[in-house]
Structure 1
Amino acid sequence: MPPEGTCEGKKALLQKFERQPDQFNIMGRGKNVFSCGEINVFVYIVVAMFGVGSWVAVNGLWVELPVMVPYLPEGWKLPSYLTVIIQLANIGPILVTLAYTCSKDSINEKAIVFLILTVGAVACLLLAFFWRTTSYIGGEEHSTALLVLQFFLACVDCTSSVLFLPFMSLFRVEYMTGYFIGEGMSGLIPSLVALGQGVGKMTCQNMSVLNQTTNISHYEIQPIYHEPTFPVEDFFFFLFAMMIMSGVAFTLLNYLPYCKREHTVEYVMDVEGADSNSSSSNYELSSDHGKVREEEYQDPSQTGHSNTELVPSNKKKKPSLAVCTDTHSSLVSEALSRRTYFYFLILIAWISAISNGVLPSVQTYSCLPYGNSAYHLAVTLSSISNPLACFVAFVLPEASRIIINVLTFFGTCVAAFIMLTAVQSPTPLLVESNGGPVIVVLAWVLFTALISFSKVSIATLFRKEGKRALLWCGAMTQLGSVIGAIITYILVNVLTIFESAPPCA
């Protein structure tokens, strides 16, 4: 066999792997009942469970607001307080991004992820006991405990964007959709639990109302909200359990040998393990996370293990397989150009701005004029369409850049229609039509599906570029969300261009 450090040696090694791939058993993976193509179904589910912890706490708090507001002094001003707190919590991802940049990716990611998951779990547990605790600040009563604990929850969830995504570079690109399915479930699961709790259920009754100015009573149709089937405290215990589940999933992904077999780094391949008469040469599979790679080992016909290259176990890097492109040019992956790289960063910021910052803040203005049922259907079905779109991205072949651009464009057009209905509230177009509620619900579902598919497709492309690309993908996600939220906060609370529809119109 030619010397292992030469191009001829690497070609011989690759040819032997192509003839007898089972002898190499890269990363310890083998066929088992949990395999589905290149995916280990069990590990894929664990990845999704880990992804649930990304935004489940903040999403859960938002869907529980209708039950909490009647007991809190801020009333329906509470969402505006929470919006500001979430933006302040972006100090977390800023610090992590700076740490990545200054330390050249040498920070202890595992320890930080365990820390924020622990903080999130503890905050959810404390909310179950202290969410109604108030104190006087500046002569006004405020929900101090809720607001403080919300800040810690927001820090956890915002920071997850720049920690969880880079962590996923440890796994092959096929597992990225699993993470985004879990992230989508972080909004769907609390919504379904809240629906089972009875959040938003009400009846309209004609009631006597006293005019405080004239001291004369008159009759008005007022909403009467039903008592929930279980208390707020139980809902926070549920969120606590979700954070614990995410922490357990993260532990399994890092330390369970069965899950570690799906890692793309830090595993040794015995090149001559099947030949007892041959000398053994250990190679370690590693991944360059610090730059956009143009020299990567990839064999889609046999293993599908992308983003890896053969590195001697003594840590001394040998020439990449990319230098042997005369007969194996198809094995070299195509890296994004710098222009495309920055374009997709801007695109992910735009997607995050409209999907995380702008439209969620105006959903009540867009949907409530069409009825309470239309509002809850839009919230629930759009939450379902998010993980479904991520699953479609897993099933279908990798989306091309043209498809991503087209879907983002159509998603933006649907978002413009949704904004039009919100601006026209309380009498948007088709409000008197039987098809109006159907159209607005379909618009929300279609928008969420298109944008979610585009987002996971961009993240999949960035996964191939390495850990730093995923870090900046997460950072631009948060930046876009902040910009969108600030702009919408000004439009809603300062310029007051939106007008709510009465719940019992």
Structure 2
Amino acid sequence: MGKGKNLLRCGEINIFVYFVVAMFGVGSWVAVNGLWVELPVMVPHLPEGWKLPSYLTVIIQLANIGPILVILAYTCSKDSLNEKVIVYVILTVGTIACLLLAYFWQTTSYIVGEEHSTALLILQFFLACVDCTSSVLFLPFMSLFRVEYMTGYFIGEGLSGLIPSIVALGQGVGKMTCENVSVVNMTTNISYYEIQAIYHEPSFPVKDFFFFLFAMMIMSGLAFTSLNKLPICKREHVIEYVMENKEEASSLSSTSDGHIELSSDHTQENSDNNPTNVGHSNSELVLSSKKKPCLTICPDGSYTLPVQSLRKEMYFYYLVLTAWINAFSNGVLPSVQTYSCLPYGNNAYHLAVTLSSIANPLACFIAFLLPVATCVVINVFTVLGTCLAGFILVTAVKSPTPLFQDSETGAAIVVLAWVLFTSLMTFSKVSIATLFRREGKKALFWCGAVTQMGSVVGAIVTYILVNVIMIFESAPACS
């Protein structure tokens, strides 16, 4: 029996629980990511055509009412907000919306004399509310677990983009051939030939793809329930007992392995006076917003005494850095990826999308194997990522004729830039979130909040550049 338990452990983590955490993380953005990758199949059947992505972008920004309401509730509730109930609510809403999309995604109606995909747009709003709100709910929930499990959550978040992309590739999304077709000029009634992109029929319908997203949301909900209810998961919960005065802290003695031990009097006293916080491995997490020493009771019975490690200025610096990283990662660059990659060919575009999706969870796993807690490394990686983002933006602005457009070298460089950008920024983001996990639940909440704020600002700025100022020009699919 003991050997079986050891097989499930890798250092400080339980492998099964780590996997369940990742499956929970998948539910963070799988619905919206899935909808985006399915657009090439859906667009030919919808009245908006390729204007649909701009509609969806606006809807996603409107859906940020969800995290705003949670932030207000959190601020007003003085840390008494029941996040678990809200997580169950949003996962249920996302699951139902995916199921309804399977049946009604083509349902249209007329609004102000124009036909629109009403059902799709409304259900997209609910999906976007779910995913945007996950930023300020899922991260604080992870404070219930050891710091080592944070990378598991971010691996799941990365997989929320990779898994739908793989399924969509299997479906045949984006498969096309360039054919010389006859076109009639309606003004002169003269026919001529031009090369056009002919997209292939998918191997399975859009309805089945939404059933897949429905299944993924159910899986995420089951993972969340398991993390709260299964004994093997509850044993990985940590308890943090906030000590009110120095006398309590002085009753702790350090062991040779760096853990902290309680004196027998201290253990007995707090077991009697506060049994819900000490000596009960699946208790709720208790955190204080004040700078008090905090006793963390680990599943193996060891004790650690974390004290707020980040200075105030560093705390806010990392929040700004998180907003900066996510502004590029989630807002700016996804909106210009077609402008950046398509001039180098359809293969370069799909390679950049697919390899970047793989790089995201891979960078999270590397952050687990090689954790970094130094400001210097995080700063260097962020600066390098920002430089790569600048290069990617230059290629997008130069579209449809960027540098090295007609060479394989150019295609390789742009694909490599996307993969390196994703890897560096993801590693920095996960490293910062891991530091914030050590600061406690409140720090993770604000980390999630600024993640969404940065994403919103980046998306709005890019929307203006793309649709209002129109500084980007698309490259033809066939050239």
Common fold by TM > 0.5: yes
- Cα distance in 2 for residues equivalent to 1:215 and 1:229: 37
Take 2:441 and 2:171, find their aligned partners in 1: how far apart are those partners? 40
**Whole-angstrom CA distance in 2 between matches of 1:472 and 1:298:** 21
Deviates more, 1:333-342 or 1:471-480: 333-342
In structure 2, what residue type is equivalent to 1:472?
A: W
- Partners of 2:306 and 2:156 in 1: how far apart? 31
Match of 2:88 among 92, 114, 136: 114
Q: Shift in Å at residue 214 of structure 1? A: 2.1
> 1:426 corresponds to which letter in structure 2?
P
What is the DSSP-based 3-state SS (H/G/I as helix, E as strand, rest coil) of the residue aligned with 2:135? helix
Contact kept in structure 2, 1:293 and 1:466, CA below 8 Å: no
Question: In the TM superposition, what is the alpha-carbon distance from 1:299 to its structure 2 partner?
Answer: 9.4
CA deviation profile, 1:197-241 (whole Å, cap 9, x unmatched): 000000000001112222221111011000000000000000000
Given candidates 361, 364, 385, the residue that maps to 1:411 is 385
| Structure-2 separation of matches of 1:358 and 1:34 | 40
SS at match of 2:90: helix
The answer to whether structure 1 residue 291 and structure 2 residue 289 are counterparts is yes
1:253 match: 227
Q: Secondary structure at the match of 1:349?
A: helix
Distance 2:201 2:185 in 1: 27
Say whether the 8 Å CA contact 1:91–1:155 is kept in structure 2: yes
Contact 1:166 1:470 (8 Å CA) reproduced: yes
* Counterpart check, 1:241 vs 2:215: yes
Aligned to 2:131: 157
2:403 to 429, 433, 449: 429
Q: Which amino acid aligns with 2:6?
A: N
Distance 2:292 2:82 in 1: 26
Counterpart amino acid of residue 293 in structure 2 = E
Of 202, 209, 212, 2:176 maps to 202
What are the Cα deviations for residues 237-280 of structure 1, in whole angstroms up to 9, with x where unaligned? Answer: 0000000000000000001111000001389xx9899xxxxxx9
> Does structure 1 residue 137 correspond to structure 2 residue 111?
yes
Distance 2:301 2:161 in 1: 31
Q: How many angstroms does 1:295 deviate by?
A: 1.5
What is residue 168 of structure 1 aligned with on the other side?
142
CA contact (8 A) 1:291 1:465 kept: no
Number of the residue aligned with 2:444: 470
- SS in structure 2 opposite 1:413? helix
SS in 2 for 1:209: strand
Verify: 1:361 aligned to 2:338, yes or no. Answer: no
Residue type of the partner of 2:63? Answer: A
- Residue 406 of structure 2: SS of its match in structure 1? coil
Could you report, residue by residue, the CA deviation over 1:351-375 in whole angstroms, capped at 9, with x for unpaired residues?
1101100000000000000000000
1:221 maps to: 195
Contact 2:240 2:287 in 1 (8 A): no
Q: Report the identity percentage.
A: 75
Q: Kindly tell me: are residues 354 and 305 of structure 1, through their superposed partners in 2, closer, same or farther at Cα, counting changes over 3 Å?
A: farther
Q: Name the larger-Rg structure.
A: 1
Other-structure match for 1:341: 315
Structure 1 distance, partners of 2:461, 2:336, is: 12
| Correspondence 1:187 to 2:150 | no
Shift of 1:189: 0.2
**By how many angstroms is 1:397 displaced?**
3.1
Distance 1:346 1:271 in 2: 38
Aligned-residue CA RMSD in angstroms? 2.2
| Offset, 1:391 | 0.2
The residue type equivalent to 1:345 in the other structure is L
> Does the 8 Å contact 1:60/1:187 carry over to 2?
yes
**In the aligned structure 1, how far is the partner of 2:407 from the partner of 2:117?**
41
SS of equivalent to 1:94 = helix
Amino acid in structure 1 at the alignment position of 2:366: V
Letter in 2 for 1:131: W
Inter-partner Cα distance in structure 1 for 2:70 and 2:297: 34
Contact 1:292/1:335, CA 8 A, preserved across alignment: no
User: Where does 1:491-502 land on structure 2 (aligned, <5 Å)?
Assistant: 491-502=465-476
In 2: Cα distance, 1:181 partner to 1:197 partner: 24
Residue ranges of structure 2 left out of the alignment (5+ in a row): 242-260, 265-270
The equivalent residue for 2:432 is 458
Name structure 1 gaps, 5 residues minimum. 1-29, 274-279, 309-330
Distance in 2 (alpha carbons) for counterparts of 1:374 and 1:403: 30
Distance 2:190 2:333 in 1: 40
Q: Aligned letter for 1:466?
A: G
Matched position secondary structure for 1:111: helix
Map Cα deviations across residues 357-416 of structure 1 (whole Å, 9 max, x no partner).
000000000000000000000000000000000000000133311110110000000000
Letter in 1 for 2:29: W
Distance in 1 (CA, whole Å) between partners of 2:411 and 2:376 is 32
Please name the residue that 1:89 is paired with.
63
Report if the CA contact (8 A) 1:293-1:465 is conserved.
no
Per the alignment, in what secondary structure is the counterpart of residue 464 of structure 1? helix
Q: In the TM superposition, what is the alpha-carbon distance from 1:304 to its structure 2 partner?
A: 10
- Given candidates 375, 389, 400, the residue that maps to 1:401 is 375
**How far apart, CA to CA, are the structure 1 residues paired with 2:201 and 2:5?**
52
Verify the 8 A CA contact 2:102 2:207 in the aligned structure 1: yes
Indicate conservation of the 8 Å contact 2:240/2:295, yes or no: no
SS of match in other structure, 1:218: strand
Return the match for 1:265 from 224, 230, 239: 239
Distance (Å, rounded) in 2 between the aligned partners of 1:91 and 1:48: 26
State whether structure 2 residue 30 is matched by structure 1 residue 61. no
In structure 2, what residue type is equivalent to 1:203? T
Asked if the contact 2:158–2:360 (Cα under 8 Å) also holds between the matched residues in 1, the reply is: yes
SS of equivalent residue, structure 1 residue 207: strand
Aligned pair count reads: 444
Alpha-carbon distance in 1 for matches of 2:319, 2:232? 34
Residue of structure 2 equivalent to 1:390: 364
Corresponding residue of 1:17: none
- Match 1:79 to one of 46, 53, 56: 53
